Structure 1
Amino acid sequence: MKKETIIIIGIESSCDDTGVSIIRNRNVLSNIIIHQEIHKKYGGVVPELASRLHDINLAKAVQQAIFSAKINQDQIDAVSFTLGPGLIGPLLVGASFAKSFSMGLGIPLLTVNHIQAHVLSHFIQDANLNNCYPKFPFLSLVISGGHTQIIKVNDFFQMEILGATLDDSVGEALDKIARMLGFYYPGGPMIEYFSKNGNDKKFIFSKPRVSGLNFSFSGFKSDVFQFIKKELKKNTLFIKQNLYDICASIQKTIAEILLEKVQKAIIITGISRIVLAGGVSANSEIRKIFLYFSKNQKNKKFEVFIPKKEYTTDNGAMIAITGLLKYERNLFDSIHVTPYSKFKKF
């Protein structure tokens, strides 16, 4: 007999954010995220520090999630957690905690692919700006600090990568450029903040020529570096005097690179339903250019699904919803599973 109400706890620890969420069916009851601010002074995530802080924060986050959800831990039907990809130290901490939690309560274990979870976050109740679930098949653009991929999604667990970055991810490139501009980590949000008052047509940056549906942001990053170095030799105050315009021009170029690849994917696949996912999908310029694209097509109807900002960065809710979907299909996992750092096929 099918259970009418399913409660899943999701644990996310693939990088530096400790995320724990509890969902009842597809409704989020709690979504706790503890950020690790210490990495700012190092200019990036230090894996050893991240692991130690996850070890400290996980029990606290779980307690907060259960309290906020207004349930007893005995009501939880299964625990889901990120198995990979990500930083192996933080993943091991999350896996160990999840396994202990599963054994302690005598409930099933559900492992989750981090990238898959970003895509499936759109199946949380009211998770995107459309307030409806995307219909299959669709194309998902996953953009974050560690990943840039175009994925064809035929069903919840039938996904195929059509294109991916050959070097830096879009988030990684933004962080590296931001560091040159004098911003602290993470730099992407700082570039977005200063771009709001800038002229995005002031500076022109080259767009990498990469065949097929793959991306490359290393060349773009180098072009920005060389441009800024050249201008600083002429005027040491160049960045300070042009910061808003530099940030706006960078954002516009990146958004165009992403959109052009997605347009190509639409032509190749014939699929006109687009789902954005990942931390960089919170970027206002990227959201704007994709929404403009969807609303200004004369011959075809293009649907664009954009996640609410709380579901863009790493969070436990996306792990919990993926766990729920696996639970409904009896896709349970062994206690002997081992985390992996590099991406594996879906």
Structure 2
Amino acid sequence: MRILGIETSCDETGVAVYDTSRAGSAGLRAHAVYSQVALHAEYGGVVPELASRDHVRKLLPLVRQTLAGAGLGVGDLDGVAYTAGPGLVGALLVGAGVARSLAWALDVPAIGVHHMEGHLLAPLMEDPDPVHGSPEPPFVALLVSGGHTQLVAVEAIGRYRLLGETLDDAAGEAFDKTAKLMGLPYPGGPQLAALAETGAPGAYRFSRPMTDRPGLDFSFSGLKTQVMLAWRDSDQSDATRADIARGFEDAVVETLAIKCERALDAAGCGTLIVAGGVGANKRLRARLHEMAATRGGRVCFPRMELCTDNGAMIAYAGALRLQAGQHDDASVHVAPRWDMALLPAIAC
């Protein structure tokens, strides 16, 4: 099956074609992402109405571009997958409307995909590891994307059990808000991570939130407050900004690593999947690889370009469900809030 995937949940327009007849990474025939960062930069954050309008302008040209890159025409598609939630309702409706219209015109099935399931399954698109092969359930997934920080026990594809989640700010939000309070321009998270590369390790040490008690939930709002106070009381020089950024990043990375190890113990698993924008953080990748190696297990990430929102993960997740015979009716339906535990399992 050749599946067109459309992602419009927030401020990236992503389109991809995934071909189930090809193995591993070769299945991704083509993909393209347009980012709205420049559009929202002057407002310091995403403006939902502007995001929706920009999806309207960019989506169809991106579909044409991606199909051309795959060497396909619309008539070669066997199905369409689109992000149905969670996300910004207006942005979701743009992608859903285009996807449903295209599927109706081509008389092919369409399916709405859960955005976080797309992230969770993205590492499974990669070529098998020569020693361990492709990761297969059961495993634990750390989802660190946008407003989400979750630990999920994956018993099978489509059968998910929430182990822990953030009680306030997600890790990505904490990165962005911390960067903003120290005067870094939008989007601050990646810039803070880059700045941390030049900071002195140990110059500032912040707490590892909620690691001094049992449980798998997260909380990063207090850490953000600690950074705010440290920055306020400092000389606010460039060197100090870098040192504080390093201290903050170390705290987030170590907190995530501690919770991931606890989750693996709780689920009785040796494999950890990490997906979402924060999954591109180099220090987090190194720390989790170290933790997994110490345990005799493994950790799997998607390639860097597939950590942030993209159409490839939606095409892949949609392809798995369409292959299993699942599809939606002809109505245009989105779910800005959507519990992943409510998804139907994929029959093996």
| Structure 1 match to 2:346 | none
| Structure 1 match to 2:252 | 254
**Amino acid of the residue matched to residue 225 of structure 2?**
S
Residue 275 of structure 2 corresponds to residue 277 of structure 1: yes
Instruction: Quote the RMSD (CA, aligned, Å).
Output: 1.7
Cα distance in structure 2, aligned partners of 1:119 and 1:131: 19
| Structure 2 match to 1:3 | none
CA, structure 1 residues 124+98, in 2 after alignment: closer, same or farther (shift >3 Å)?
same
Cα distance in structure 2, aligned partners of 1:254 and 1:110: 35
Cα distance in structure 1, aligned partners of 2:177 and 2:77: 41
**Amino acid of the residue matched to residue 126 of structure 1?**
D
Alignment of 1:284-303 (within 5 A): 284-295=282-293, 297=294, 300-303=295-298
| Structure 2 match to 1:28 | 28
Structure 1 runs not aligned, ≥5 long: 1-5
Q: Which secondary structure does the structure 2 equivalent of 1:42 belong to?
A: coil
Q: Across the two proteins, how many residue pairs are aligned to each other?
A: 333
Q: Is the 8 A contact 1:138 1:153 kept in 2?
A: yes
Residue 206 of structure 2 corresponds to residue 205 of structure 1: yes
| Structure 2 match to 1:87 | 88
Cα distance in structure 2, aligned partners of 1:57 and 1:88: 17
Alignment of 1:23-62 (within 5 A): 23-25=18-20, 27-36=27-36, 37-62=38-63
1:216 pairs with 196, 216, 219, which one? 219
Q: In the TM superposition, what is the alpha-carbon distance from 1:45 to its structure 2 partner?
A: 0.5
Cα distance in structure 2, aligned partners of 1:280 and 1:128: 23
Cα deviation per residue 1:10-35 (whole Å; 9 max; x = unaligned)?
A: 00000000000001115111111011
Q: Is the 8 A contact 1:136 1:153 kept in 2?
A: yes
Q: Which secondary structure does the structure 1 equivalent of 2:233 belong to?
A: helix
Q: TM-score, normalised by structure 2?
A: 0.92
Cα distance in structure 2, aligned partners of 1:131 and 1:287: 18
Q: In the TM superposition, what is the alpha-carbon distance from 1:313 to its structure 2 partner?
A: 0.3
| Structure 1 match to 2:230 | 227
**Amino acid of the residue matched to residue 67 of structure 2?**
I
Q: In the TM superposition, what is the alpha-carbon distance from 1:130 to its structure 2 partner?
A: 8.6
Percent identity of paired positions between Structure 1 and Structure 2: 37
Stretch of structure 1 that moved more, 42-51 or 21-30: 21-30
Q: Is the 8 A contact 2:199 2:239 kept in 1?
A: no
Cα distance in structure 1, aligned partners of 2:214 and 2:296: 27
Q: Is the 8 A contact 1:130 1:305 kept in 2?
A: no
Residue 307 of structure 2 corresponds to residue 312 of structure 1: yes
Cα distance in structure 1, aligned partners of 2:132 and 2:94: 34
Q: TM-score, normalised by structure 1?
A: 0.92
Q: Is the 8 A contact 1:150 1:262 kept in 2?
A: yes
Cα distance in structure 1, aligned partners of 2:55 and 2:158: 28
Structure 2 runs not aligned, ≥5 long: 344-348
Cα distance in structure 2, aligned partners of 1:226 and 1:286: 25
| Structure 2 match to 1:140 | 141
